[in-house]
Amino acid sequence: MTPELPTAQPDPTSSDGVGNPFGAVPALDGELRFDQAALEAAATDFGGLVHQQPAAVLRPGSAEDVAAMVRHCRERGLKVAGRGQGHSTNGQAQVPSGLVVELGSLNTIEIHEDTAVVGSGVVWSDLVRASMSHGLTPPAFTDYLELSVGGTLSAGGLGGQIVRHGRQVDNVLEVQVVTGEGEIKTCSATVHPDLFRAVLGGLGQCGIITRATLSLVPAPDSVRHYVLTYSTVEAMTAQQAVLAQDGRFDYLVGQALPTPDGWTYMIEAASYDGTAADDARLTDDLEPATVEAQDVPYFDFLNRLAPAVEAFKGMGEWQRPHPWYDSFLPASTVNAVVTKTLAGLKPGALGATAVVLLYPVLTAKCRTPLPVMPDGDLVYLFSLLKTASPGADSAEEMVAANRDQHDTTREAGGRWYPIGSVPLTQDDWVHHFGSFWDEFRTARHRYDPDGILTPGQRIF
Ligand SMILES: Cc1cc2nc3c(=O)[nH]c(=O)nc-3n(C[C@H](O)[C@H](O)[C@H](O)COP(=O)(O)OP(=O)(O)OC[C@H]3O[C@@H](n4cnc5c(N)ncnc54)[C@H](O)[C@@H]3O)c2cc1C
């Protein structure tokens, strides 16, 4: 990863096309920023691996602003990407010498009877706070709530509700999108369905999402939260398979946790509005090594990573490079891949505050084509969320290991969840999209014919 930091400062007052590649810009409801602070902020992300500075940053006041600037950039051969919270790990929202559209200014939230209509820059914590005041909640979350709606809908949006409700992209009724031609289009399963299918989980390749209509369901008041431990990966994944398929829990995830002697395995499960009276029914036939249960208010349950995030910030770990790797593995190969991967990790391979996620996904709940899943009714998310901590492997070493892990995933019939830090070839992407590649490429050519959108994904 070679950092690119253009040194030329665009002159916002110039319209000669030399100092300022944008020239005279259209009138805007929001603001176009050329100052160094705005440019530098848009040249960073959570991964801290790639630093590519744009020539300008748009803080739109409306979807029309986004459309006007996309048209303007297209005429001038400049590239454009949306940015939500910048929690990408490999420069996916960056645009060297182009335009970054910071969508945080599109942050309206309207709560209706069973839907929310939101600006794409809204973060999930704000949305759920607003919906809970109406007794409602989005059905599916990521396990960290400070991500933007547009950012997670562009990736997929996975969390423990996946066994009940699928991914966040599976709970979208309609999106408003600015295409690469600078047109504002509203799409759904029945209106411009090709755009809808290519935008949800579509990594910003066919449009910038400006607004989304999301389904809402009744919110529980509290959650009965269970922590179950297992001594082997086989025991945990077998238990997860049963729990995913019998549907007794509303939420189901898992982790591998390092011990002085190796690894232990932990399922977190939750029953919405459950109480201690449900414990026997929900856990008596299970075979964990240990069981803990507690009642937690619903929002605190959704937001339970927040204290750890604050602690990581205090330790400086949050600010360090994060070369993440995330994959989906078929049920038939998950145990072998996880066992081999964890056994092969040398000290320092993951960093001091890494998290290793391992949890089941029912593909029947995944109703949109993206993100792509492996074949099979049951697959597993396997994530190595690394931090290049002091004394650990370097960020570059971790990225190289991610590439090896990607090859292992591919050989095992898996797919990657494209939010991480892996150097990929065009062949990798074609293989990744599999049978959806032709449809995806056709949508890209139709909706972004000049290929100006979201170059940081490095797909086309
Ligand atoms: C701490 C942390 C926890 C995470 N937890 C989870 C999790 O539990 N589950 C999960 O599924 N993922 C998780 N992720 C990954 C996360 O969902 C993705 O990286 C997501 O894209 C980040 O959202 P963002 O708003 O920061 O997007 P950004 O990083 O700003 O953008 C991500 C990509 O989407 C594009 N994009 C952003 N907004 C739009 C838009 N409105 N329209 C079109 N394209 C757009 C950008 O150009 C870029 O390519 C986590 C990431 C971090 C750092």
The Cα 325–Cα 90 span in angstroms is 11
The predicted-structure confidence for 161-200, as pLDDT tens digits, reads as follows 999 999 999 999 999 999 999 999 999 999 999 999 999 9
Q: Please give the pLDDT value at position 247.
A: 97
Q: Does the domain spanning 109-219 belong to CATH 3.40.640.10?
A: no
The Cα 385–Cα 198 span in angstroms is 27
The predicted-structure confidence for 267-302, as pLDDT tens digits, reads as follows 999 999 999 999 999 999 999 999 999 999 999 999
The predicted-structure confidence for 355-381, as pLDDT tens digits, reads as follows 999 999 999 999 999 999 999 999 999
The Cα 371–Cα 451 span in angstroms is 21
* Ligand 1 atom 53: residue of nearest CA: 87
Any idea which residue has 């969320």 for tokens? 385
In the 8-state DSSP scheme, what is residue 104? G
Q: What is the mean pLDDT of the chain?
A: 95
Q: Tokens for 409?
A: 């995933």
The predicted-structure confidence for 315-351, as pLDDT tens digits, reads as follows 999 999 999 999 999 999 999 999 999 999 999 999 9
* Ligand 1 atom 16: residue of nearest CA: 152
Percent of the chain with pLDDT over 70: 96
The predicted-structure confidence for 31-88, as pLDDT tens digits, reads as follows 999 999 999 999 999 999 999 999 999 999 999 999 999 999 999 999 999 999 999 9
The predicted-structure confidence for 422-447, as pLDDT tens digits, reads as follows 999 999 999 999 999 999 999 999 99
Closest CA to 209 of 219, 196, 218, 222: 196
Nearest atom in ligand 1 to the alpha carbon of residue 199 is 43
The Cα 393–Cα 349 span in angstroms is 6
Question: 222-269+283-291+319-420 adopts what CATH topology?
Answer: Vanillyl-alcohol Oxidase; Chain A, domain 3 (3.40.462)
Maximum CA pair distance of the chain?
74
Say how many residues make up the chain: 460
The Cα 299–Cα 221 span in angstroms is 8
Domain residues of the chain, as ranges? 109-219, 222-269+283-291+319-420
Confidence of residue 232 (pLDDT cuts 50, 70, 90): very high
Tell how far the Cα of 326 is from the centroid of ligand 1, in angstroms.
13
Any idea which residue has 């002091």 for tokens? 390
Q: Tokens for 114?
A: 């069973």
Q: Which residues pair with 419 in a beta bridge?
A: none
Residues whose CB falls within 8 Å of the CB of residue 237, separated by 6 or more in sequence, listed in order: 331, 334, 335, 338, 358, 360, 380
Q: What is the CA radius of gyration of the chain?
A: 22
Pocket of ligand 1 (CB under 6 A): 45-46, 81-88, 92-93, 103, 120, 142-144, 147-148, 150-152, 154-159, 203-204, 208-209, 419, 454, 456-457
Tell how far the Cα of 409 is from the centroid of ligand 1, in angstroms.
22
| Phi, psi of 411, rounded to the nearest 5 degrees | -65, -30
Nearest atom in ligand 1 to the alpha carbon of residue 149 is 25
Two domains, one topology: 109-219 and 222-269+283-291+319-420: no
Residue 9 pLDDT > 80: no
Residues whose CB falls within 8 Å of the CB of residue 1, separated by 6 or more in sequence, listed in order: 49, 50, 90, 91, 396, 399, 423
* Ligand 1 atom 21: residue of nearest CA: 151
Q: Please give the pLDDT value at position 19.
A: 65
Nearest atom in ligand 1 to the alpha carbon of residue 143 is 8
* Ligand 1 atom 52: residue of nearest CA: 87
Tell how far the Cα of 306 is from the centroid of ligand 1, in angstroms.
17
Q: Please give the pLDDT value at position 20.
A: 82
Confidence of residue 16 (pLDDT cuts 50, 70, 90): very low
Confidence of residue 10 (pLDDT cuts 50, 70, 90): very low
* Ligand 1 atom 44: residue of nearest CA: 204
Confidence of residue 255 (pLDDT cuts 50, 70, 90): very high
